[in-house]
Amino acid sequence: MKREIRSSMELQATGSARLILAIAAVDGARDETLVVEQDGRALDARELSDGHGTRLHEVDVERGAVTVRYRATVVGRSAPVAVDELDAIAYLRPSRYCESDTLTPMAVEEFSGLSGWNLVDGVSSWVGTHLMYQLGSSGPTDGATATMLARRGVCRDFAHLVVALLRAMDVPARVVAVYAPGLDPMDFHAVAEVLLDGEWWVVDATSLAPRRSMVRIATGRDAADTAFLTTIGEPVDLVSLEVFATVDDLPADDPRVPERLG
């Protein structure tokens, strides 16, 4: 499996700021380039990584226009993600956008009696059929509870609600940002991962792209850990964003069949 991925953004910094970019593939990338420019001048990007392999790039900018361009070829599929025993604790706890404690009564009422894969499939199917995918229907601070009440959202909202409901049923779950060949409209995509039978499995309640061809970018509790851009210092405006992802052979996807990110 060969995937071509790239992303670019135009930013406008109102003053001195630090950019934290989460746009690079976790592993398997070849012919990879990341260029950050301001006023025609290339800026240094310092790479940091976390325990999940998320590759962050830290860049200092001044007032003015900033251009970010990333591209890579990803060949093959990565090995299964190692499971840390602390994951079973960390990814059961409520988080900023996945308020599993608030949603526990609803989850118990709706999914009581289900376990294992039946529970995962039940939650994903419920979210996929009860939510409407609608661009611009949610705000950047909306969490799973707001999504459940509004019954609409975008990919991160679907992922947050799946994660929150699974955690409410004592199943560890987390959010992953990915490049997703086949996604329409193309953008950065968010999916859920569930810890079951000692392995992490990907769940996408939107069913908008085949899971097998996705490329992992960032992994965390929710969107607070997986945002493609974080800024520190003076405000930075996102002027434009383009994302591109293709695969040499787009696979079919049956949401009932367990699948790993690779």
For residues 55 and 9, state if they share a domain: yes
Q: How far apart are CA 14 and CA 71, in angstroms?
A: 27
Return per-residue pLDDT of the chain as tens, 262 residues: 899 999 999 999 999 999 999 999 997 788 899 999 999 899 999 999 987 889 999 999 999 999 999 999 999 887 777 788 898 999 999 999 999 999 999 999 999 999 999 999 999 999 999 999 999 889 989 999 999 999 999 999 999 999 999 999 999 999 999 999 999 999 999 999 999 999 999 999 999 999 999 999 999 999 999 999 999 999 999 999 999 999 999 999 998 899 998 7
The number of distinct structural domains making up the chain is 2
For residues 69 and 142, state if they share a domain: no
Q: To 10 degrees, the CA torsion angle through 140, 141, 144, 148? A: -80
Residue 66 within a domain? yes
For residues 50 and 160, state if they share a domain: no
For residues 102 and 17, state if they share a domain: no
For residues 102 and 45, state if they share a domain: no
For residues 55 and 93, state if they share a domain: no
For residues 48 and 154, state if they share a domain: no
For residues 18 and 105, state if they share a domain: no
Domain containing residue 30: CATH number: 2.60.40.2250
User: Can you give the residue range of the structural domain that contains 100?
Assistant: 87-225
Runs of H (alpha helix) within 115-196: 116-130, 144-150, 155-168
